Structure 1
């Protein structure tokens, strides 16, 4: 809501240009460290197990930094992420 006589701050052309930059976002289900020997032994049909429970929230990452947590939702034949929590600081997952 604007107060009469007070305009909302205008974004500079620089700010608009920065906000137009597209960033790659990722949704991470689970993460763990494993020895490379385990990775090079992977073949089709191999199984990796994770300590995370299948009902735990997914992490939305931008530039490798966790910015939000959410849950999967089905949208037609695609999936999406319903944001449930915005992380206060970048997480290290």
Structure 2
């Protein structure tokens, strides 16, 4: 059995795919409000529409940015990398 060198191992690990999410706003609401949702229902958030969006990996925020239009799709322009509190 051949033991992979650290460079090939690192490259293999860096090739692992993970899910990223962009979060516009977050709040807690009573479950009764969720049960009452129907098409056309509106939820209001305290965030202003110009506030930065949060990029998350595995529910861990890693960056903040702004929405950009790329053709008929949208993207996120990174403006700040968040550092983990030590």
Q: TM-score if structure 1 supplies the norm length? A: 0.82
Structure 2: segments with no counterpart, 5+ residues: none
2:33 to 32, 38, 42: 38
User: Which stretches of structure 1, 4 residues or longer, exceed 2 Å deviation after superposition?
Assistant: none
1:74-93 paired onto structure 2 within 5 Å: 74-89=69-84
Structure 1: segments with no counterpart, 5+ residues: 1-9
2:47 to 49, 52, 58: 52
Deviation sequence 1:48-90 (CA, Å, 0-9, x none): 0000000000000011100000000000000000000000117
Partner in structure 2 of residue 5 of structure 1 = none
Q: TM-score if structure 2 supplies the norm length? A: 0.89
Distance in 1 of aligned mates of 2:83 and 2:23: 18
C-alpha deviation, 1:11, in angstroms: 5.2
Deviation sequence 1:23-43 (CA, Å, 0-9, x none): 100000000011111000000
Q: Secondary structure at the match of 1:88?
A: coil
Distance in 2 of aligned mates of 1:25 and 1:16: 20
What RMSD, in angstroms, separates the aligned Cα atoms of the two structures?
1.5
Matched, 1:71 2:66: yes
Structure with bigger gyration radius: 1
